[in-house]
Amino acid sequence: MVPISFNRIDPLFMYTQLLKEALLDIQDDDEKSIKEFTEYCRTQKDVSKTTIEKIEREYRDHSPIWWYTGPYFIYSMLNYGLRQMDVDIILKMGFFIRHLHNHITELHRQQEKNTPKHFQVFRGQERFARPATKNPNSVGILFVINTDTDICKKSSTPFAEKTLPPNHPDLASSYNNIGMVYYNMGEHLKALSSYERSLEIKKIALPPNHPSLASSYGNIGLVYNKMGEYSIALSMFERALEIAKIALPPNHPGLASSNNNIGNVYHSMGEYSKALSSHERSLEIRKIALPPNHPDLARSYNNIGNVYDNMGQYSKALTSYERALEIRKIALPPNHPDQAQSYNNMGNVYHKMGEYSKALTSYERSLEIRKIALPPNHPELAGSFNNIGGVYCNTGEYSKALSMLERALEIAKIALPPNHPDLAGSSNNIGIVYLNMGV
């Protein structure tokens, strides 16, 4: 059978929709949530203890918008959590997201009658626009992956350019944000251009080993990695790591991210020994820097499992995948796509080991989660049906195999471009089954 990747298309879209709805609907004890949030903040590095104490004393004395727009860590922590889809941060700040959403919604209702036009407000910017949707539920917090990308691209930079000096760090941030939008849209050349402009400004405006420079090199590396330019990506990630080693504490999560990125590039280049070394270093740092069941630890175990899988060391791969799944069961919602990924990876290993019954169980569990977590024609569903069909083919159950593979092809035709290679792979797999059936 032909292995098919069915790479994700906008992989976090459905999850962010569900998470957003869940956060806004939760009814919990605000006082308890605030206490849990401040306790969490005390475990984090680079978080002002003075601000933590201020939140404990004065949270109810000020509006959510006051806290969000003030010179405190709340803005940066929340935006980081949303951009990185860091579930730990998002859940800890769920009470604040609800309060901020409700406050914005209430202000909108109060001002709607007296405002001649609907308008959109950004942090630090007001922009009049075309009439917005009249659905009151659409007013409030927007996750970064759900924002209007045309507005992000068209409005952010001109506004910054007119109000800031040419090499102001905030202008670099605007270019960086535009780069993120293009990156998420898959427009890699445009993302690269924006990231490089951001880096140029930072080189002038910031000290030579500022951590923000490391972030820029890392972003540029991610684009080159997506484009298959692995040697350039590697040089970018290595430069990011050099700066991070100087600018950050020795066990800072940023160092773990740089090592993780380097490991991913080595993996793509087929240099598995180097990939394993980088991923293990990343895991070491994360074990020190993060809570024991942080999702990033699961990512490290998953990446290590991927390397062992490609090295043919299936027992070690399985151990790593199982550890990743254990953490994800604790850290993530029960039907999170990452849990489906873990089950799918375990199924792949069992399949290669010839343990078809266990492979089938893992693949079916992955499919169950994906049916709940993803849109009905998501390419990862096609991947699950393809994998299950592969097991049935190997066990000689050709009728079941054919049913699964045909379902995979149906979804792939909807989800993928007409010339995508995975469509040919699906058709080929169906042909193999017919050949084995003697048809």
**Tens digit of each residue's pLDDT (9 = 90 or more) over 247-297:** 999 999 999 999 999 999 999 999 999 999 999 999 999 999 999 999 999
- pLDDT one-digit tens code per residue, 210-241: 999 999 999 999 999 999 999 999 999 999 99
At residue 61, the pLDDT reads 84
Give how many domains the chain has, as a whole number.
1
Asked whether the beta carbons of 327 and 302 are under 8 A apart, the reply is no
Q: Which residue range forms the structural domain that includes residue 30?
A: 12-129
DSSP state of 120: E
Cα separation, 256 vs 27, in Å, equals 35
In a domain, 106, yes or no: yes
In a domain, 17, yes or no: yes
In a domain, 175, yes or no: no
Q: Which residues of the chain have pLDDT under 50?
A: 8-15, 116, 118-122, 124-149, 151-152, 154-155, 159-160
In a domain, 356, yes or no: no
What is the residue whose two structure tokens read 């375990």? 346
In a domain, 49, yes or no: yes
**Which residues lie across from 127 on neighbouring strands?**
120
Asked whether the beta carbons of 33 and 95 are under 8 A apart, the reply is yes
> Tokens standing for 373?
């977590």
In a domain, 403, yes or no: no
Asked whether the beta carbons of 38 and 410 are under 8 A apart, the reply is no
In a domain, 382, yes or no: no
In a domain, 387, yes or no: no
At residue 323, the pLDDT reads 98
At residue 147, the pLDDT reads 43
